[in-house]
Amino acid sequence: MGRKIEGIKKDILYFILSFIIFSIILEIVFYKESLISIIRAVLSLYWLFAIPGILLSYLIFEKLEFVERFVIGTLLGAILTGIPAYYLGLLGIPIQKSIFILPAAYMLIFLGLMFFLEKK
Amino acid sequence: MISIILLWAGLGNLWDHKISHDYPIGYLASDAFQHQTRAESIKDAGNYRNEAFYIAKGFRDVIGYYPPLLYHAGDMFSILSSLQIYDGVFLFLFLFTILGMLAMYFIIKSFSKNVAILAMPLTVFIFTTNTLIAFTWGHWPAALSNIFLIGALWSLLKLDSKWGFVIFGIFTSGVMMTHTSETVFLFLFLLMYLAAKLLLKKFDLKETIEIVKGTVLALIISFYYLIIFRFTWMVAQPYSFNIAPTWVANPGFYLGNFSNFQLFRASEHFPPLFFIFILIGLVIAVLSFIKTKGIVPAIGISMLILGFTNYVGFSWRAFQLRFFWPIYLSVLFGIGVYYMVKIVIRKLNILISSVISLLILIVIVLNSNILPGNASMMDSYHWDALTWLSKNTEENSKLYFLYGDIYFQDALLRNSKREHYLIGRDDYLNALNNNTIKRFYVTKIPGDGGAMLPYRKGILTFGYYAKDYNSEYFFGARDLCSFDYVIFDKYANSNNGIVSNQYNLAIREKMLKQGLQEVRSNQFVSILKNLKPGEDCIGA
């Protein structure tokens, strides 16, 4: 198994942990809100932005501590999904569909690229 | 810990510690509603091919001309998390501001971890009153663009990676597609940084080539929108030199604001402590840059200088950059504090730095001007009226808003999602003072005319409704009786010389007598439907 995939496997635990910590932080700050709403917001953030951006960061930077990868990856993710959603909208694919299409496409493309590059 | 405090002091407090609300909370000016309604319209349409007609003064083929990224990212987050757009986009922006602050932490950490830790307390100023208006007054695209700008600065540290330029390119396209003017600041920074390295005989050609590659990628990604930008904003608001020491009608952010909180204002003789640390940090950063040519000190120095470009023609754009001074200048603050503390504590370690950082943070938070919870221009009654109009009136109906305290921050009226008109304040006051009720009032067509209402004639040719029609069309006399719905505020409590809305109610009485029907009413707002638009509706 290559280093990029190994890096992801190593960070999966941190990723899950970050989700829990993020949810706890939001639950503390917005303590009058239901936990379900908080988790839904965090899940959305992760699906739309964190996952695509973090996956791209694994493709480009092998060595990065997880928190830095998470922060930069999530910022990147907003651009990675936001700009194509604009263009897809112009092409007739509504934003409501981009929500599912884009992160799923990025997962396929980036993971596929990783396997391909590491097999080479 | 800092993230919790930042969120608590910022959005948590402002939103009364809830993320979903019955109406927009934390919206304190028209521009906040401008962005909220645009995001809402994109969600409704599913795309941003055109501006919604109720944003574009009734015109239906005005192209979507605003940089689109904020709306699309914010919309996607709102839709998937089942939040209303007005909550979701706002939450998205705050969360990304925290991420931007953390990105700056990692930038500074590449210089020194102690400095990074000591720098963080200054970032809290991003959520105190004078900078909080970036959020509450609706400078959202500028704020998000600055966050991506920080990402672009971070990526400059990684250009030695084989594909590092890709990340720089993506962040730069994010800046371009969110609030294009920050692109100018990014490239001014790069110009200063590379020129300084050239002068100091440390010019790195490989680094420059990677920046060029990233820039080309950003231009490719943004190409379609940049054409729109070229023929809209660059036509409507071209650069013109002027010196603007202050930001008219806005509480701009100044260096002195870094000491502008209660503890220090209590004593006039107390020095502006944070400002002093920034100045000390500036001197050390300059010396450090001359010695190491490192990018981190260059960021602090350059962002301070760029914040003063209001003196060379950048006007309010420079003030929008200053909203993020608490984050950008945290570099200088951290360096200043670090070297001052080092005089006393020679062996400064991470633990001591963290304790000092936390103490500074607590002092700032406890003494900052933080807005009260639930502050908003909107209230449940007006929100009820506006959403009722959006759901219960015919799509092509025309609405007329008579005087209301909040209506002159007129972007909020776009929540009616209908073509709407607003009575001119001066004409209204004159009629009120003369005690006359008339059919024709000077009337404004509210909407976003900032880019002159552009529409496409060809691939590279554009027309502008703001030029096609004379000014009277947008602000001139109109027949009150020609509208399908007339909206009355029942109470007034403003500083506009109107102490009650008796005049509104008198017009309403006349209209009711003429057969108009009240179709919606609550404690504050009454909506009448005109069944015969064009006929006499006031018994003139």
**Nearest-Cα residue of chain A relative to residue B96:** A75
- The predicted structure's pLDDT at residue B237: 87
Q: pLDDT tens for residues A59-86?
A: 999 889 999 999 999 999 999 999 999 9
Nearest neighbour of A61 by CB, restricted to B3, B18, B161: B161
Q: pLDDT tens for residues B423-453?
A: 999 999 899 889 899 999 999 999 999 899 9
Nearest neighbour of B77 by CB, restricted to A29, A44, A94: A44
Residue with tokens 């680094």: B207
CA proximity to B41, closest of B6, B72, B77: B72
Q: Are A40 and B163 an interchain contact pair (Cβ–Cβ within 8 Å)?
A: no
**Nearest-Cα residue of chain A relative to residue B163:** A60
Kindly report the CA angle at B111 between B331 and A80, in degrees rounded to 5?
80
Q: pLDDT tens for residues A5-63?
A: 777 888 999 999 999 999 999 999 999 999 999 999 999 999 999 999 999 999 999 88
Nearest neighbour of B173 by CB, restricted to A25, A61, A79: A79
The model's pTM: 0.95
* Inter-residue contact B121 to B357 (CB < 8 Å): yes
CA proximity to B120, closest of B136, B133, B107: B107
Optimal mutation site among B69, B80, B144, interface A, most CBs of chain A within 10 A: B80
Q: Are B76 and A32 an interchain contact pair (Cβ–Cβ within 8 Å)?
A: no
* Phi, psi dihedrals of residue B128, rounded to the nearest 5°: -100, 170
Q: Are B17 and A29 an interchain contact pair (Cβ–Cβ within 8 Å)?
A: yes
Optimal mutation site among A21, A60, A117, interface B, most CBs of chain B within 10 A: A60
**Nearest-Cα residue of chain A relative to residue B162:** A60
Q: Tell me the residues of chain A between 56 and 115 that have a Cβ less than 8 Å away from chain B.
A: 56-57, 59-61, 67-68, 71-72, 74-76, 78-83, 85-87, 89-90, 92, 94-96, 98-99
- Residue A56 with chain B: CB contacts under 8 Å: 167
**Nearest-Cα residue of chain A relative to residue B11:** A29
Nearest neighbour of B166 by CB, restricted to A49, A60, A98: A60
Average pLDDT over residues B188-209: 95
* Inter-residue contact B32 to B426 (CB < 8 Å): no
Q: Are A95 and B43 an interchain contact pair (Cβ–Cβ within 8 Å)?
A: yes
Average pLDDT over residues B378-404: 97
- pLDDT band at B244, cuts 50/70/90? confident
**Is the pLDDT score of B420 beyond 70?**
yes
Annotated domain spans of chain A: 3-119
- The predicted structure's pLDDT at residue A62: 86
Q: For chain B, what percent of residues have pLDDT higher than 70?
A: 94
Nearest neighbour of B69 by CB, restricted to A31, A49, A83: A83
What's the CA gap between B423 and B88, in Å, rounded?
32
Nearest neighbour of A75 by CB, restricted to B7, B76, B148: B148
- Residue A38 with chain B: CB contacts under 8 Å: 19
What's the CA gap between B136 and B155, in Å, rounded?
30
DSSP state of B532: S
Query: Which range has the top average pLDDT, B16-20, B105-109, B371-375, B455-459?
Result: B105-109
- Please tell me the number of Cα atoms within 13 Å of B19 on its side-chain side: 32
